[in-house]
Amino acid sequence: MKTLKALLIPLLLLTIFVACSDDDSEVDKEKPTIDLSIDGAFPVNCETIYFGEEFELKMRFTDNVELGSYSIDIHNNFDHHSHSTEVTECELDPVKTPINPFVFIDDYTIPEGSDEYVTSLRIFIPANNDEGDYDDGDYHFFISLTDKEGWSAQKGLSIKMRHR
């Protein structure tokens, strides 16, 4: 019995060691990046977007392996809450209670196999809805970028949304 234990224990340890060894495939451990320093990047922190007009979303996304998708969330910041990822602080309007705030949330895919992608998405911002004109003032423009592995990066921009 002692001989059997003496053989089984090293055999068990060898099996565990072999089963847990690293394979040759690399694991993506890096977050993607959102670059707003490219020429013509829009929007950037403290920018103004106008109701009833279209703008072009322009930013550069990169990843060390492969990009996945991105999403945009535009919502009011009338209470001056913060998700800003930028160093520059913008001048804020006085705190106010929302009456008919604009909200925009949408997801977008990035062409498969891309490790770099420059957006050229045209977004129309309506001036009103069934309840009337949208509230102008302070808003957040929040971008979330996810790579194929599931790592994500975010940019929280403070913007103004105004009626001309």
- Asked if residue 5 is part of any domain, the answer here is no
Cis peptide upstream of residue 111 (ω within 30 degrees of 0): no
Q: Among candidates 154, 110, 151, which has minimal Cα distance to 28?
A: 151
Number of domains forming the structure of the chain: 1
Q: Are 107 and 146 in contact (CB under 8 A)?
A: no
**CATH number of the structural domain spanning residue 54:** 2.60.40.2550
Residue 17, CB-side half-sphere exposure with 13 Å CA sphere: 6
Domain that holds residue 71: 28-162
Which residues are CB-contacts of 39 (< 8 A; sequence separation ≥ 6)? none
Sequence-distant (≥ 6) Cβ neighbours of residue 111 within 8 angstroms:
117
Instruction: Give SS3 for 5.
Output: helix
Is residue 13 assigned to a domain? no
pLDDT by residue, tens only, the chain of 164 residues = 565 555 556 555 556 655 555 555 678 889 999 999 999 999 999 999 999 999 999 999 999 999 999 999 999 999 998 766 777 889 999 999 999 999 999 999 999 999 999 999 999 999 999 999 999 999 999 999 999 999 999 999 999 999 99
Residue 146 lies in a domain: yes
